[in-house]
Amino acid sequence: MPDAEPPDLPQTPLLHVMYLEPRIPGNTGSAIRLAAVTGARLHLIEPLGFDLSEAKLRRAGLDYHDLAVMQVHESFDAALATLPGSRVFAFTTRGTTRYTDVAYRPDDILLFGPEPTGLPAEVLAHPRVTDQLTIPMLPGRRSLNLTNAASIATYEAWRQHDFAGQQPEDSPSRFP
């Protein structure tokens, strides 16, 4: 998986999507695809619940692996050390701020916890966590799929920046 900038991505990141200890390869493969199509940077924090060469991960990411910027970090603190000035928004069903009530900056970190437990209390209480955000749902529902939640939040942040770097309006969209 590449750590370098693919040639067609903007030099300034849209934002950083961070998965703490992801366990399901298909979700991470989908996150690779999300990063590739939006220009977000994907950060995975070990331990991972799968091998990065796993077939389900490759299948979910399809041919987008070479178009995404992804880094693997040995710990949450190590990941944060690479982004010292970034705000950290922790997504949790227990959050009190709606994800739409934030004015996102290009260097923000959108932090998501492992499936199915979510972010642990010690991460939510970390001094670098700026706020705990929630995505509204109907009562009695547990949570959204990890990458569905990351996609909702990533597209809201991208929308707030007028979809910077999107393909020109006169070229057709690419749907697989």
Q: Which residues make up each annotated binding site for S-adenosyl-L-methionine? A: 113, 135, 143
Indicate the residue type of 55. A
Which residue has tokens 């603190």?
A: 77
Tell me the pairing of strands 129-134 and 97-98. Answer: parallel
Euclidean distance between CA atoms 71 and 44, whole angstroms: 6
Euclidean distance between CA atoms 136 and 154, whole angstroms: 15
DSSP 3-state of 148: helix
Residue numbers in the known binding site are 113, 135, 143
Euclidean distance between CA atoms 112 and 89, whole angstroms: 9
